[in-house]
Amino acid sequence: MAISLINPDNHIHVPAYHQVAVAVGSRQVHIAGQVSWDQDGNLVAPGDLAGQVAQVFRNAHNCLQAAGATLADLVRVTWYLVDWEPAKAEAFLAGLEQAGREFDMSTPRGTVIGVSALWTPELLVEAEFTAVVD
């Protein structure tokens, strides 16, 4: 699967992030909202945004594998963060960095949306994933 990452010349440049992903493939994989639960439904990293972000990537990794895809096939992630404020950016980015090291991947393109609550009060983050594969 070929993904071309682009930062347009006439657009803001953000280090370690690309504004555009052009994917060539024959199959789209859409992963439903993933939260910080393990395979038994237990909360991972209570109260720890970075830890929950990393667990969300672990869950996405498992879902993508089941569909014959990998994290390298991601073209977009939509993040939903409870009570988002700029002060939480450091913890969110730490979770992205942890997942990047664990799965040897770069930060996927995405959007962060602040929400007032998720399914249960202990969840700090949820994410939907889109991948394109041959």
pLDDT in tens, 2-15: 778 788 888 888 77
Q: Residue 28: what residue type?
A: Q
Q: Across the beta sheet with 74-82, what order do the strands follow?
A: 27-34, 125-133, 74-82, 110-115
Domain ranges of the chain: 25-133
Q: Does the domain spanning 25-133 belong to CATH 3.30.1330.40?
A: yes
Tokens describing residue 58: 């672990």
Query: Backbone dihedral region of 104: left (phi > 0), alpha (psi from -120 to 50 degrees) or beta?
Result: left
pLDDT of residue 123: 98
Per-residue pLDDT of the chain (134 residues; tens, 9 = 90+): 577 878 888 888 877 677 787 877 789 999 999 999 999 999 999 999 999 999 999 999 999 999 999 999 999 999 999 999 999 999 999 999 999 999 998 888 899 999 999 999 999 999 999 999 98
The pTM assigned to this predicted structure is 0.86
pLDDT of residue 3: 76
CA distance 48 to 42: 14
Nearest to 108 by CA among 80, 84, 69, 73: 73
